[in-house]
Amino acid sequence: MIDFSVIIPHRNSKETLPRLFETIPVSPSIEIIVVDNSDEPLTKDEIDINREYSLYWAEPKRFAGGARNVGIENSRGKWLVFADADDYFTPNAFDDFYKFIDSEVDIVYFGMDGIYIETGERSDRGDRFTNMVKKYLSGKIDEKAIRSGFSSPCSKMVKRELVSKHNIRFDEVAANNDDFFALQAGYFAKTITAYDSLVYVYVATAGSIMHKRDAKTMLVRLEVILRCNKFKKEHGLGNYQGSVAYFFSQAAHYDMKTFFRFVSLLFKYRQNPLIGCKNWFHTFKKVRVQDKEEQSYITK
């Protein structure tokens, strides 16, 4: 009986992957699935980790989302746990996961920590999800808010049965591949719960997709958010739509052709550009502060 399937997309992360493995307990009830996304498939000898795990390959054009989908399709665990090869679990993570091993809920949400790889200083990138858990447990936000807003696939455990029943998969795109997966899982879950504990550490690395601000990446991000907003409108979650104003503030840095591509996406998804604008200034200010702190990590 496999309790957990830990699914890890991997690309150019041979140096950090051992650190992640060290934070996953050795147990016959935990299977580790690494899905290589490199141009040419890597072998276990090249990865060089002396540990039991399954290794698969997904074509690079499928991106990290496609790698995660391959992992889902080959998983056997009762619960799915996702991790990026650059990140790692906290020492208490699997103890906390096992507290819910027999739970009837479909998703358990946890808190997330963060760190800057270059300095070892703490990053606040995970605070959004930690605060969401705290606010949900204290009654400051409702269940729909955490179901629709906890966009990371990490820091949660998801029933494999839920994913299989509704054929939920990751978008195979260059950025934000996890948003729609997390939204659908949250929507279709019969019951959910949350636990106020940090189980995952997001590691900020230079050049990662999280820090890319080039026009192509931003267009992909915008379209994913618009697809999510469309789903929310169609499923009674219209009040939880994400703001797109930030993308148009960034579009001013690109050429006119790119700007009009941004605008064309609004028409394609029939999106009101003012949706979510009441929180836009706060979000914009926060992003500006984060970008200033992480200036050396950002690529354009």
- Asked if 268 and 229 count as a contact pair (C-beta separation under 8 A), the reply is no
Answer whether residue 281 shows pLDDT above 90.
no
Write the CA distances from 102 to 107, 108, 159, integer angstroms: 12, 12, 11
Here the tokens at position 162 are 């839920």
Handedness of CA 140, 144, 149, 152 (dihedral sign): positive
| Mean pLDDT of the region 204-221 | 74
Answer whether residue 115 shows pLDDT above 60.
yes
pLDDT above 90 covers a percentage of the chain that reads 72
Q: What is the pLDDT of residues 238-251, one digit of tens each?
A: 999 988 887 877 77
Q: What is the pLDDT of residues 45-72, one digit of tens each?
A: 999 999 999 999 999 999 999 999 999 9
- Asked if 106 and 189 count as a contact pair (C-beta separation under 8 A), the reply is yes
Answer whether residue 285 shows pLDDT above 60.
no
Nearest 5°: the CA angle 171, 174, 175 is: 80
The predicted pLDDT at position 298 comes to: 47
Task: To the nearest 10°, report the CA torsion of 176, 180, 186, 187.
Answer: 160
Which residues in 9-45 are b (16+ Cβ under 10 Å) and which e? bbbebeebbbebbebbeeeeebbbbbbbbbeeebeee
Q: What is the pLDDT of residues 178-197, one digit of tens each?
A: 999 999 999 999 999 999 99
Handedness of CA 201, 205, 211, 216 (dihedral sign): negative
Q: What is the pLDDT of residues 60-107, one digit of tens each?
A: 999 999 999 999 999 999 999 999 999 999 999 999 999 999 999 999
pLDDT, averaged across the chain = 90
Write the CA distances from 6 to 48, 80, 149, 178, 249, integer angstroms: 18, 6, 22, 16, 38
- Write down the domain spans for the chain: 4-205, 212-297
The predicted pLDDT at position 280 comes to: 55
Answer whether residue 149 shows pLDDT above 90.
yes
Per-residue pLDDT band at 155 (split at 50, 70, 90): very high
The residue behind tokens 């056997």 is 76
Which amino acid, residue 279? N
| Mean pLDDT of the region 259-275 | 85
- Spatial separation of the C-alpha atoms in residues 213 and 183, rounded to whole Å: 23
Answer whether residue 175 shows pLDDT above 70.
yes
- Spatial separation of the C-alpha atoms in residues 145 and 128, rounded to whole Å: 12
Please provide the CATH number assigned to the domain covering 4-205.
3.90.550.10
